[in-house]
Amino acid sequence: MREILRRLETLAPREFTLHGFESRVEVGHQTEHEQIKTTVKRVLVATYPSRRVVTKASQMKANLLVTHRPLFPWAIDRVTGADLVRLRLLTKNYTSTYVMGSPWIAARDGLSDALVEALGLTRVRDFTVVGDFSQSVPIGRVCTTSKDMNHSGFANYVAAKLSIENMVFTGDLDAQVEEVFVVAGSILDMPEILEAKKQGAKTIVTGELAPDIRLLAREEDLNVLELGAFVTEEPGMRRLCNYLRLELEGENYTIEFEETRPVTRVLRPYK
């Protein structure tokens, strides 16, 4: 296990941590001594450790579950409900979990790069912000489109590229798209919005924003496309799974990817 974790730590360096969303072992062996003594032969990669994902890990008797989002995003003093069911399944099958966290968003060939590639955009430069351990964290990518279009056309373009039916848009649909700031996941907060504005952003593509941050973006005259939970993270987690398969090929590992699907639908009531 220690060998695999070292590779993951190299891919997503600790200095790219933002807002305390760090890479870490969440469930299972915490010490290096325990990890060295643990043999891993089956790995499951997913964006979020949902009940379905944890059940899949249990069924395939995975030794390690690698996710982007954690099982417990905040400190808790008790475990109940669905969290308790998932935790019991993991511990019963001796499955350790490793969270990639915000470093995997910023990392080279990580979530943001994979999203840029999936959208077919041309990368111009990094969108850097101040992180928890570094003054320069490349959390996003500044890109251009292959042809001129307004935000209405760009929204249709993004939806077609990612095969999604709905997104949340804030801004002016008729405004022309210039540079596009792409940040995977749901990491953007007030400092990043203000920094994006400072760096000349007019358009942002991301996962989700909190309501107050969405309002701030509008007040700063930014055009924001929110593609929804997990949508912006899936391409990068698939890439991580493929990387592990290539790295561990021929070493008798079983490495699988489990899709994480959004659970919400946008309804349009009719009269």
pTM of the model: 0.94
C-beta of residue 94 within 8 angstroms of C-beta of residue 164: no
pLDDT digits (tens, 9 = 90+) for 152-194: 999 999 999 999 989 999 999 999 999 999 999 999 999 999 9
The pLDDT assigned to 74 comes to 83
What angle is formed at CA 234 by the lines to CA 124 and CA 177, rounded to 5 degrees? 35
At 115 the pLDDT is 98
User: Left (φ > 0), alpha (ψ -120 to 50) or beta: where does 118 sit?
Assistant: alpha
Residue stretches of the chain with pLDDT short of 70: 249-251
Q: Would you state the pLDDT for residue 231?
A: 96
pLDDT of residue 15: 97
Q: For each of the domains in the chain, give its residue range(s) and CATH number, in order of start.
A: 2-102+233-258 (3.40.1390.30), 108-226 (3.40.1390.30)
pLDDT of residue 250: 66
